[in-house]
């Protein structure tokens, strides 16, 4: 009887171990790309912005990245946002020369 219970327990733990290994641990999962879900309404200082990413899903947004690595999402329809994108693009082209 004890051998039967031990065998069932071993099979159970092997099943749990197999499922865990198939899913992988949290550390082995690829990093998800950050997405904007809400937008800031404040105008940012263009001089502090070093990069940007365009996003359309789940919301239409521009994610600006500051020199310190902070990511801030804003509406792409604002005039200052278009000016900031143009300024960042100009910096990129002058660095490449």
Q: Tens of pLDDT along the chain (97 residues)?
A: 566 655 565 565 555 444 444 444 444 445 456 788 899 999 999 999 999 999 988 899 999 999 999 999 999 999 999 999 999 999 888 876 6
| Separation CA 32–CA 86 (nearest Å) | 28
Number of domains present in the structure of the chain: 1
Q: What's the predicted TM-score (pTM) here?
A: 0.62
| Separation CA 97–CA 67 (nearest Å) | 21
| Separation CA 19–CA 24 (nearest Å) | 9
Which one-letter DSSP state was computed for residue 80? H
| Separation CA 84–CA 42 (nearest Å) | 14
Expressed as residue numbers, the domain containing 60 is: 30-95
Say if residues 53 and 63 touch (Cβ distance below 8 Å): yes
15 in a structural domain: no
Domain with residue 54: its CATH number is 2.40.50.40
18 in a structural domain: no
């Amino acid at each position: 009887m004890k051998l039967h219970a031990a065998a069932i327990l071993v099979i159970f733990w092997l099943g749990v171990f197999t499922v865990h290994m198939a899913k992988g641990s949290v550390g082995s999962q690829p990093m998800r790309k950050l997405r904007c879900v809400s937008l800031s309404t404040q105008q940012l200082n263009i001089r502090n912005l070093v990069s940007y990413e365009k996003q359309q899903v789940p919301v239409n947004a521009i994610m600006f990245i500051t020199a310190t690595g902070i990511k801030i999402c804003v509406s792409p329809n604002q005039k200052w946002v278009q000016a900031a994108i143009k300024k960042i693009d100009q910096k990129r082209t002058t660095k490449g020369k």
